[in-house]
């Protein structure tokens, strides 16, 4: 079901409620267009949202609600969907899973995130209207979702990559003191928002009772120069040349963290030595993986950890390690229906354990309440209580201490003022 939630964005202004209401039948099966972006023309009349869930009739209990923010680096993407939609494998993992998905559009690229003093001072413009669009979708849910069978008191927000970065942004919105409360659970799958550590995050003021963060073992390698893995200098046109030498690594590190003091850069090299191990990575000895670990922690893993641990009631953290464990690798288990999920044996077992934990979290705030796998399979540990995360590997699941990750993340938090914004 696709619905109009507010009128088209007026240039760089925030949203407004619809002024033309339909007195009659509205075709809710029609798709809606992208907002203007780099890879599609789109239209400014784009602020719609879609709903998907199992049948519901008035008088039945209201269902949990999951608002899903799309990814795409904040420069592309959209909320319109085909049947079955993104996330359907989570809804379909068991009979206990019964919630309503909400897929809002929000403005992207220059139309959604144009920065600058001129925009801030212009009386006809607003900064970060893409985030305001996301927040208004949550306000729409609070006002109207009960008409469609959703419970406004049981709302989760979820996203992957930039969608998960959007989750973190909403978690810390308004200094973590959004009133009235718009959601109580947040799941951030590899939250991508490069090097923008919020003061609200550092002070642990967030808008959630239940937090679940996810990161992938090798996903930082998606974002560092591939030349760091080559013996000879290589570069893309217009980019610096890199190779696998220590000198090349140091050049990359200074470029990645241009405002960091020499003393702190030295500490980075101590925390990420040339030959070492990290979490479920038994050994690395290449410049490429070393740089990837730094990027992963600063942009993806540490924000996931901080968001989860800052939640008011319960916190959970997961690490996806199944090869290649790159950015987006984990989506095969929960994003779209595919043959991997339906393959009997180990693959189906991993699907049930992974997607089942997400579904249970959306339903109850506890990823183990409706656990699909048997009692001998490890569940998701409470992060603050056990200081362990939930590891998905090729053989199944395990609970592993997060001490080394916490040490590195504590360093990054301590030098947040030197991280480029």
Question: Do residue 217 and residue 240 come from a single domain?
Answer: no
Would you place residue 256 in the very low, low, confident or very high pLDDT band (cuts 50, 70, 90)?
very high
Q: Output the pLDDT for position 24.
A: 72
If one compares 42 and 74, the residue with the highest pLDDT of the two is 74
pLDDT at residue 199 greater than cutoff 70? no
- Is a pLDDT exceeding 80 seen at residue 374? yes
Q: Do 307 and 379 fall into the same domain?
A: yes
- Say if residue 113's pLDDT is above 70: yes
Average pLDDT over residues 337-351: 94
> So what's the pLDDT on residue 173?
84
Q: 394: left (phi > 0), else alpha (psi -120 to 50), else beta?
A: alpha
At 231, the pLDDT band (50, 70, 90 cuts) reads: low
Q: In this prediction, what percent of the chain has a pLDDT beyond 70?
A: 89
Bond into 84 cis (ω within 30): yes
Of 239 and 8, which is predicted with more confidence? 239
- 317 pLDDT above the threshold of 70: yes
Q: Region 52-77: what's the mean pLDDT?
A: 95
Q: What is the domain extent for residue 244?
A: 225-294+411-418
Taking residues 361-368, report their average pLDDT: 98
**What pLDDT was estimated at residue 73?**
92
If you write DSSP's letter for every residue of 48-80 in order, what string do you get?
EEEEE-S---TTSPPEEEEEEE--STTTS--S-
225-234, 261-270, 332-341: least confident range: 225-234
The encoded tokens of residue 290 equal 């070393």
Residues 304 and 288 reside in one and the same domain: no
**pLDDT at residue 3 is higher than 70:** no
271 and 381 share one domain:
no
pLDDT in tens, 379-395: 999 999 999 999 999 99
Asked if 289 and 390 sit in the same domain, the reply is no
Convert 312-335 to b/e letters by CB count within 10 Å (16 or more is b).
Answer: eebbbbbbbbbeebbbebbbbbbb
Q: How confident is the model at residue 203 (pLDDT cuts 50, 70, 90)?
A: very low
Q: Please tell me whether residues 149 and 241 are part of one structural domain.
A: no
User: What CATH number does residue 334 fall under?
Assistant: 3.40.50.1820
Which residues are within 8 A (CB) of 328 and not within 5 positions of it... i.e. 6 or more apart? Answer: 160, 161, 190, 216, 219, 222
State the DSSP code for 417.
G
283 & 308 share domain: no
211 and 325 in a single domain? The answer is yes
What is the average per-residue pLDDT within 84-99? 95
Average pLDDT over residues 285-305: 94
pLDDT value at 22 more than 50: yes
User: Is residue 198 predicted with pLDDT exceeding 50?
Assistant: no
Judge if 267 and 210 occupy the same domain. Answer: no
Number of domains in the chain: 2
Query: Are 233 and 216 in a shared domain?
Result: no
Residues 7 and 108 in one domain: yes
What pLDDT was estimated at residue 43? 85
pLDDT at 354: 97
With a cut of 70, say whether residue 230 has pLDDT above it.
yes
Average pLDDT (409-417) is: 93
Residue 141: pLDDT band (50, 70, 90) is very high
Q: What is the mean pLDDT of residues 277-296?
A: 91
Provide Rg for the chain, Cα atoms.
Answer: 22
Q: Which two tokens stand for residue 297?
A: 């922690």
**Taking residues 138-160, what's their average pLDDT?**
97
Query: With contact defined as beta carbons under 8 Å apart, do 203 and 177 qualify?
Result: no
- Judged against a pLDDT cut of 70, whether residue 20 lies above it is answered with no
The pair of three-digit structure tokens given for residue 164, joined into one six-digit string: 């998960």
CA distances 154 to 85, 151, 181, Å, are: 21, 5, 11
Query: Kind and range of the H or E element at 101?
Result: strand 100-104
pLDDT tens digits along 150-171: 999 999 999 999 999 999 999 9
Secondary structure (DSSP) of 166-205: HHHHHHSGGGG--SS---SEEEEES---TT---HHHHTT-
Does position 11 have pLDDT exceeding 90, yes or no?
no
Q: Mean pLDDT for the chain?
A: 88
- pLDDT of 197 reads 41
Residues 94 and 126 placed together within one structural domain of the fold: yes
């Amino acid at each position: 079901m696709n619905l109009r939630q507010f009128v088209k964005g007026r240039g760089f202004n925030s949203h407004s409620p619809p002024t033309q209401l339909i007195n009659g039948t509205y075709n809710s099966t029609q798709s809606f267009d992208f907002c203007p972006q780099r890879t599609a023309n789109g239209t400014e009349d784009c602020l719609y949202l879609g709903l998907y869930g199992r049948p519901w009739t008035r008088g039945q209990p209201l269902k949990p609600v999951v608002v899903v923010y799309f990814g795409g680096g904040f420069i592309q993407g959209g909320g319109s969907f085909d049947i079955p939609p993104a996330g359907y494998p989570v809804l379909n993992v068991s009979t206990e899973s019964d919630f309503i998905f909400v897929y809002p559009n929000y403005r992207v690229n220059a139309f959604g995130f144009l920065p600058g003093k001129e925009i801030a001072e212009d009386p006809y413009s607003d900064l970060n209207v893409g985030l305001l669009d996301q927040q208004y979708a949550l306000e729409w849910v609070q006002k109207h979702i009960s008409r469609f069978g959703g419970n406004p008191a049981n709302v989760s927000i979820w996203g992957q990559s930039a969608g998960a970065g959007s989750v973190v942004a909403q978690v810390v919105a308004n200094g973590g003191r959004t009133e009235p409360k718009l959601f109580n659970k947040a799941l951030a799958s590899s939250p991508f928002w490069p090097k923008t550590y919020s003061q609200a995050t550092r002070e642990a003021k967030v808008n959630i009772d239940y937090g679940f963060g996810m990161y992938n073992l090798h996903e930082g390698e998606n974002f560092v120069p591939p030349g760091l893995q080559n013996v000879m200098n290589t570069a893309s046109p217009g980019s610096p040349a890199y190779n696998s030498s220590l000198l090349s690594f140091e050049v990359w590190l200074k470029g990645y963290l241009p405002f960091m003091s020499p003393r702190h850069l030295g500490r980075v090299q101590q925390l990420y030595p040339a030959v070492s191990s990290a979490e479920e990575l038994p050994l690395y000895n290449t410049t490429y993986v070393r740089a990837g670990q730094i990027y992963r922690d600063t942009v993806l893993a540490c924000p996931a950890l901080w968001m989860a641990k800052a939640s008011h009631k319960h916190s959970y953290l997961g690490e996806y390690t199944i090869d290649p464990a790159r950015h987006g690798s984990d989506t095969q288990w929960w994003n779209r229906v595919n043959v991997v999920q339906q393959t009997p044996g180990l693959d189906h077992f991993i699907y049930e354990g992974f997607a089942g934990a997400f579904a249970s979290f959306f339903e109850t705030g506890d990823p183990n309440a409706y656990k699909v796998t048997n009692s001998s399979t490890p569940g998701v540990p409470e992060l603050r209580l056990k200081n362990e995360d939930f590891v998905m590997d090729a053989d199944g699941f395990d609970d592993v201490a997060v001490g080394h990750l916490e040490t590195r993340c504590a360093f990054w938090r301590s030098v947040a003022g030197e991280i480029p914004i």
